[in-house]
Structure 1
Amino acid sequence: MRRLLLALLVGFGLTVAAVTPASATGFQTYGSGVNVRADAYLSSAVVRTLGGPTSIDVDCQKHGDRVSTADGTSEWWAHVPALGGYVTVVYIAVPEDKLPGVPECGGDNPPPAGDDITLADVQAMFGSRIANPSIVETGLPSLNQAMKDAQINTPYRKAAFLATLVHESRLEYNIREIGDTRLYGGRGYIQLTGDFNYGPAGQYFGIDLLGNPDLALSLQWSAPIARWYWTVARNINPYADNLDMGRVNAAIGYPAGAEDQRRCDSFKSALQYLTGSVPAGVICIRPAALKGDTSKLSRTQFDSLAEQGGGLG
């Protein structure tokens, strides 16, 4: 109701709006403490916070994470060049959940296809671990989108993410952990496990994963859930940036053992393919604090343990 009232006030010229460039459309935010994020996802960095209602000039809008308030729900985010980021449409004074008359970001300039990972790429990286090529290929468009959304956009990050998933799920979006009959057993790309993960992941996306856990192995949700785990349940990109596969493996949530080296070998194989060499300084061994089963730790608890023994490096 508040959004509708504010929208009417703006329409009647009862709020002060800034001069709008020809390439942008003026709107008004409402409320205080509204975050401007680097991208259209709740896991993206906050670049600034609006102290109160603010006039903004929007040049495009992007589909991203769902945000809900008492006034509505929206999965659209407004790009505000002057603020250097995105504001969820939920906190913009319009009655719609998508901004009227505003183009979608990147509509005329799609990312080059060469940035996407192909079936041939993963087969070259991982060989016989790609056991069902047709399933892998079917899932790649959603997986590539999830990688973009998670800013898995460097060779080190791609190598760590793909090496992890090829061991978790053989890069098959719809795989169920063999022999695991638990209600909340491993499913999907990241092999989501435990009600302590199904619950928060479902809440994040606004779906009932606890009531319908098989959504985690659907084509629609398997890749976004992997992205959620990588960036929200954990913050794994910095470990990949430091070639620290030991901490990457610990973040996935299983006890240290021979599997760590196997995953690190796959990481090196992916690096060799993506960069033409294996950089010096790859770390395959976990710090002592992370050798146990870390699966049930909160992100804060995990981060605290991961800092022991020399930070990220």
Structure 2
Amino acid sequence: MLHRVLRAALAIALAGTAGLIAATPAHAATYQTTASALNIRSDAYLSASVVKVLSGPTPVEVDCQKAGDSVTVGSRTTTWWAHLPAHNGYATVAYLNTPETKLPGVPECTVNPDPPIEDITLADVQAMFGSRIANPSLVQTGLPSLNQAMRDAQINTPRRQAAFLATLVHESRLEYNIREIGDTRKYGGRGYIQLTGDFNYGPAGKYFGIDLLNNPDLAMSLQWSAPIARWYWTVARNINPFADQLNMGKVNAAIGYPAGAEDQRRCDSFKNALRYLTGSVPSGIVCTRSKAYSGDTSELTRAEFDALGKAPGTVG
């Protein structure tokens, strides 16, 4: 464990600069916002936390822009978000006074790369989760594909790894081929993330170019179980930002089951994983959910789920 803690200490030291703009132009461009109650978010995602709400149209300085979630306003759709240094956050370009979908002449934001993260081993997950690892040989077999899925999903920090692994150990015991016990539904829970419902099997199959609706057992195959978990984490939902915020309440809501005692159990596993990966448990971990996230969110689209976290009357 010592090498993991030392590695994590380096990651934490570098992480303090990972979100900072590494190259800021000498003169920022000025634009006018075009909306009232415009959300300024901590990152270029609709699920990122709101750091400020601009009450009305106002001039803002933009020093760079980055690609993020798609936003449509009227006939214009853009994936570009403007960084507003004075407000320490991002606003979608859709609500700036430009007809362009990307701001002309404004550089893209650059950040320091994340430090390399080692692959997770069987010894690691056993140390994190103890007796929840009930079939070590099966877990070992699946780890190469699971580590690749984490790389593909940018699950590359201790917080993200801890949230992802804590979720999967409760969903499937980290066994790629598990079927939800007693669930005889055609589209019942399968695989690492217990994919459930035709509303998930259909889109996941379309994303990977496989027919999951007619071959649902592919969701618990060694080839597809981990990629499907990655798809759900990043495409069906956008969960990495919740892990970054230490908000396991939102992570659990995004997975899609009603609030209850299971939330605390998963949060405890998250803490155990963080303790192992970093040597300590940080303050500020959120284990509970707000009222908006307390119900069963499993059948919501990503847009519908993202809308739950938006304050009434705000945009962006």
Same fold (TM over 0.5): yes
Number of the residue aligned with 1:201:
204
User: In 2, are the aligned partners of 1:209 and 1:216 still within 8 Å (CA)?
Assistant: yes
Number of the residue aligned with 2:233:
230
Number of the residue aligned with 2:256:
253
User: In 2, are the aligned partners of 1:171 and 1:189 still within 8 Å (CA)?
Assistant: yes
The count of aligned residue pairs is 205
Residues 157-215 of structure 1 show CA distances to partners (whole Å, capped at 9, x for unaligned) of 00000000000000000000000000000000000000000000000000000000000
Number of the residue aligned with 1:127:
130
Map 1:10-29 to 2 at 5 A. none
State whether structure 2 residue 278 is matched by structure 1 residue 271: no
User: In 2, are the aligned partners of 1:117 and 1:144 still within 8 Å (CA)?
Assistant: yes
In structure 1, how many angstroms separate the alpha carbons of the residues matched to 2:130 and 2:254? Answer: 25
Instruction: Give 1 or 2 for the bigger CA radius of gyration.
Output: 1
Number of the residue aligned with 1:302:
305
Number of the residue aligned with 2:121:
118
Cα deviation for residue 46 of structure 1 reads 4.4
Aligned to 1:200, the other structure's residue is in SS state helix
Of 286, 290, 294, the residue aligned with 1:287 is: 290
In structure 2, how many angstroms separate the alpha carbons of the residues matched to 1:308 and 1:255? Answer: 21
In structure 2, how many angstroms separate the alpha carbons of the residues matched to 1:283 and 1:127? Answer: 23
How high is the TM-score relative to the length of structure 2?
0.62
Number of the residue aligned with 2:190:
187
Aligned to 2:129, the other structure's residue is in SS state helix
In structure 2, how many angstroms separate the alpha carbons of the residues matched to 1:306 and 1:292? Answer: 13
What is the letter of the counterpart of residue 228 of structure 1?
A: W
In structure 2, how many angstroms separate the alpha carbons of the residues matched to 1:307 and 1:127? Answer: 38
In structure 2, how many angstroms separate the alpha carbons of the residues matched to 1:291 and 1:240? Answer: 18
Cα deviation for residue 280 of structure 1 reads 0.3
Of 160, 171, 176, the residue aligned with 2:174 is: 171
Number of the residue aligned with 1:96:
none
In structure 2, how many angstroms separate the alpha carbons of the residues matched to 1:122 and 1:209? Answer: 29
Number of the residue aligned with 2:148:
145
User: In 2, are the aligned partners of 1:254 and 1:293 still within 8 Å (CA)?
Assistant: yes
Large movers: runs of 4+ above 4 Å = none
Of 250, 255, 262, the residue aligned with 2:265 is: 262
Cα deviation for residue 306 of structure 1 reads 2.6
Of 155, 158, 162, the residue aligned with 1:159 is: 162
What is the letter of the counterpart of residue 173 of structure 1?
A: Y
User: In 2, are the aligned partners of 1:287 and 1:308 still within 8 Å (CA)?
Assistant: no
Residues 211-238 of structure 1 show CA distances to partners (whole Å, capped at 9, x for unaligned) of 0000000000000000000000000000
Give unmatched runs, 5+ long, in structure 2. Answer: 1-65, 69-107, 110-114
How high is the TM-score relative to the length of structure 1?
0.63
Cα deviation for residue 308 of structure 1 reads 4.6
Map 1:15-164 to 2 at 5 A. 46=67, 115-164=118-167
Q: Which structure has more RCO (C-alpha within 8 Å, separation ≥ 6)?
A: 2
In structure 1, how many angstroms separate the alpha carbons of the residues matched to 2:272 and 2:156? Answer: 18
In structure 2, how many angstroms separate the alpha carbons of the residues matched to 1:149 and 1:275? Answer: 22
In structure 1, how many angstroms separate the alpha carbons of the residues matched to 2:133 and 2:310? Answer: 34
Cα deviation for residue 267 of structure 1 reads 0.3
Aligned to 1:115, the other structure's residue is in SS state coil
In structure 1, how many angstroms separate the alpha carbons of the residues matched to 2:175 and 2:214? Answer: 23
What is the letter of the counterpart of residue 187 of structure 1?
A: R
What is the letter of the counterpart of residue 247 of structure 1?
A: K
What is the letter of the counterpart of residue 264 of structure 1?
A: C
In structure 1, how many angstroms separate the alpha carbons of the residues matched to 2:186 and 2:252? Answer: 24
Identity of aligned residues (%): 80
